[in-house]
Amino acid sequence: MLGAEDFIEETVETVKKQITGKAIIACSGGVDSMVAAALVKKAIGDKLLAVYVDNGLMRKGETEEVEQMFKSMGFNYVIEDAKDEFFSALKGVTEPEAKRKIIGEKFIRVFERRAKEYGAEFLIQGTIAPDWIESGGGVRDTIKSHHNVGGLPKEMGMSLYEPLRDLYKDEVRDLARMLGVVASERQPFPGPALAVRCLDEVTPENIAVIREACFIVEDEIRKYVAEGKMKMPWQYFAVLLPSRSVGVQGDRRAYGRTIAIRAVDSIDGMTATYSNIPIEVLGRISQRITNTMKDSVNRVVYDITNKPPATIEWE
Ligand code: XMP
């Protein structure tokens, strides 16, 4: 990549030439889409509308947090409530690639509607290199269809513009710091959101379980990092497994869900090693999950697999 400063200057010039009318940007509040939004806003100002889709699959408090970021960045924005649409499209689906394709398609349909209303011809996305590399095509195998690439439908009524296509996460973070993007240090979060951390049908009930478990993992890890007891992993979250196992609660039999904790260290997400989380921290997370979620979860495990052979997310 060019130096961050040159890249910003060059991109702003290109956007000014290529995008003459209005545009919308698919903005999840993650570092990639926030940087893409900040760059394009520099070029076309308020002709850019940031669209955040509340698909019912986001983390606890995320919609409110993202709205605050939009306000602090001075974005022209809209929050689309599409929860029912996503849940009904995902009904009965458990196969990971099918989930990803449905989610990619739904996102585009919401963006198309909004673009039409706003009079935008362009859809900007914060796609980065690993998204299209892992989505396959040509001689490349499909590892997983990233929602914003392999999950895109064949037909869509907008032109796509992706200013960060050739960059990796560490490079995007450099740009974020330079552009004063508040999301610069947020951990990566996949576009298909909690749907790919729920190894089961994507129902509001299952999503509520994984949302709470992810919140506990994030909250405990941040606490221990702040106390200097461990270093911050690159990414850390929970996964809801589809199997049940036998447990005991008081003197009664339980037959509950299993949560896997995943934490990895990486530079660009293309390879990763599992984080060495102190056993005390893992024990505390396990206890908090099984105490506060005792009606649903009775077992917690830690994933000690690198990428490769695993991937970071389980789906
Ligand atoms: P994997 O699971 O492929 O993930 O090792 C590598 C990094 O990418 C994130 N990820 C996604 N990001 N759209 C995204 O924008 C997606 O569809 C997607 N799937 C995975 C993942 O969280 C990790 O940081």
What is the b/e burial string over 237-271, where b = at least 16 CB atoms within 10 angstroms of the residue's CB? bbbbbeeeeebeeeeeebebbbbbbbbbbbebbee
| Per-residue tokens: 232 | 């911050």
Q: What is the C-alpha separation between 111 and 102, in angstroms, rounded? A: 14
Atom number in ligand 1 closest to CA 151: 17
| Per-residue tokens: 238 | 């929970």
**C-alpha 107 to ligand 1 mean position (Å):** 16
Ligand 1 neighbourhood includes 191 CB (under 6 angstroms): yes
Task: Determine which residue's CA is closest to atom 10 belonging to ligand 1.
Answer: 190
Cα 80 to chain centroid distance, Å, stands at 17
Ligand 1 neighbourhood includes 307 CB (under 6 angstroms): yes
Q: What is the pTM of this model?
A: 0.95
* Residue 214: per-residue pLDDT: 98
Ligand 1 neighbourhood includes 162 CB (under 6 angstroms): no
**C-alpha 296 to ligand 1 mean position (Å):** 27
* Residue 240: per-residue pLDDT: 98
**Residue appearing with tokens 């011809």:** 121
* Residue 152: per-residue pLDDT: 76
* Residue 22: per-residue pLDDT: 97
Q: What is the C-alpha separation between 246 and 153, in angstroms, rounded? A: 42
Q: What is the C-alpha separation between 298 and 306, in angstroms, rounded? A: 26
Average pLDDT for runs of 10 along the chain of length 315: 91 96 97 98 97 98 97 97 98 97 96 96 96 89 87 82 96 96 93 98 98 98 98 98 96 96 97 98 98 97 98 98
Which residues, 6+ apart, have CB-to-CB distance to 200 below 8 Å? 94, 206, 240, 241, 242
Amino acid letter, residue 266: S
Q: What is the C-alpha separation between 182 and 7, in angstroms, rounded? A: 19
Ligand 1 neighbourhood includes 101 CB (under 6 angstroms): no
Task: Determine which residue's CA is closest to atom 3 belonging to ligand 1.
Answer: 311
From 312, 83, 281, 72, select the one nearest 187 (Cα to Cα).
312
Q: Which residues pair with 237 in a beta bridge?
A: 262
